[in-house]
Amino acid sequence: MANQHIIDYINEEKTKGVSDDVIIQSLISAGWQTTDISEAFLAVPNPAQELVASDVPTPAITAETAATMPGAMDLIREAIEIFKAHWLQYVGFALLPTIFSFIMGIITVATPGFATLANNQGSASILDLFGPFTLIMLGISLVGGFLSLWASAATMVRIRDREETISFLDIMSRSLKYVIPMFIVSLLMGLITTGGFLLLIIPGIIFSLWFVFGIQVVIFDDERGINALLKSKGYISGNVGVVFGRWFVIVLIYFSVLIGYVFVSGIILNSIPDSDLSKTVRAIIQTPLNAIITILTTIIGVVIFNHIKKT
């Protein structure tokens, strides 16, 4: 028999407009068992989908999706509202890789002998290709890539758990377990889509569309590896036109804003003589733009994914 306390909580949260995913995560965090949560959802109107997804891809509801999926501007507005709720944390996640690169740049410039090491590596023979400089730069690149994946995972976990009051460090801790699964899914996506493009252009495009939600499935459905890709295919099957159409309009809006931004920033930069100051100003102008674009792109992708799941 379903637990009445869980049922009351679900009904209360639903009246606030909280999504089923967030309700489920909150109950799990509170210590409730998944079986109790599933029984409670079955006892309330419009029960959620099965809590624990099987390996079989989720069937797509195709004809109704276009009617229920919000338009591009509504998706952007929804993403902005999500961003505004925890904007400082989102910016912090997005700036992590940039801060790391900045610190590494200072260290390499300030380290005695590093420039000499780089010059020696540049003039070395092919047998010395993997010398100290190459290994150091490879290590920095690997750490930077890890931080980029971690920042992306943290952003999506913050979106998923946006109804909770959680600190920056707690979000980073929660999202750490997704970094390796995200890397594996990204690697599989890259290998499969590249193979498709090598065979013919069309298969590569089809694979890219099928697996567009692979990363979101890792975070929101807790799937791994090929199962995440198969579930993404299940979500996108029959909905390609809807998803592609929304993204196409969003990209057009983005480029319109970008053109205006570049025009204004160009006027500012052209008024400054070419020097270290102009490079600093350029970095100050471009860094916030790149961070906001990264954040909103991630949020919009999650918003579209959640609407596809609900239809």
* Complete DSSP assignment for 166-200: --HHHHHHHHGGGHHHHHHHHHHHHHHHHHHHHH-
Closest CA to 5 of 34, 28, 37: 37
Tell me 238's DSSP state: T
Report the number of distinct structural domains present in the chain. Answer: 2
Lowest mean per-residue pLDDT among 9-23, 169-183, 225-239: 9-23
Domain presence at residue 57: no
Residues 118 and 44 in one domain: no
Which comes out higher in pLDDT, residue 285 or 244? 244
Residues 86 and 1 in one domain: no
Residues 38 and 183 in one domain: no
Tell me 1's DSSP state: -
Domain hosting 24: range is 1-50
* Interval 178-223: pLDDT, tens: 999 999 999 999 999 888 888 777 888 888 888 989 999 999 999 9
Domain presence at residue 59: no
Two structure tokens written together for 16: 């606030």
Two structure tokens written together for 205: 């495009």
**For residues 15, 170, 189 and 71, what is the CA-based torsion angle, rounded to 10 degrees?**
30
Which range of 29-33, 34-38, 207-211, 228-232 scores highest in mean pLDDT? It is: 228-232
Domain presence at residue 56: no
Domain presence at residue 60: no
Phi, psi of 23 (to 5 degrees): -60, -45
Q: Among the residues of the chain, which ranges form H helices?
A: 4-15, 20-29, 34-42, 65-68, 72-85, 87-110, 114-122, 132-160, 168-175, 179-199, 201-210, 214-220, 225-236, 240-270, 276-310
Choose the final residue of a domain: 26, 50, 74: 50
Residues 165 and 261 in one domain: yes
Residues 13 and 114 in one domain: no
Percent of the chain with pLDDT over 90: 27
Percent of the chain with pLDDT over 70: 77
Residues 151 and 18 in one domain: no
Which comes out higher in pLDDT, residue 22 or 55? 22
Which pLDDT does position 63 carry in this prediction?
44
Which comes out higher in pLDDT, residue 177 or 127? 177
Tell me the whole-structure pTM to 2 decimals.
0.68
* Interval 63-93: pLDDT, tens: 444 446 788 888 889 999 999 999 999 999 9
Over range 252-266, report the average pLDDT.
80
Domain presence at residue 58: no
Which comes out higher in pLDDT, residue 198 or 49? 198
Question: What is the average pLDDT value for the chain, to the nearest integer?
Answer: 79
Which pLDDT does position 228 carry in this prediction?
92
Residues 127 and 170 in one domain: yes
Which comes out higher in pLDDT, residue 173 or 13? 173
Residues 264 and 294 in one domain: yes
Residues 74 and 45 in one domain: no
Contact 43, 10 (CB under 8 A): no
Residues 88 and 209 in one domain: yes
Domain presence at residue 136: yes
Residues 147 and 249 in one domain: yes
Two structure tokens written together for 90: 């989102």
Domain presence at residue 287: yes
**The residue type at 154:** A
Sign of the dihedral through C-alpha 13, 17, 20, 22: negative
Closest CA to 34 of 47, 46, 52, 10: 52
Which pLDDT does position 277 carry in this prediction?
65
Write the CB contacts of 4 (distance below 8 Å, at least 6 apart in sequence): none
Domain presence at residue 297: yes
Residues 19 and 97 in one domain: no
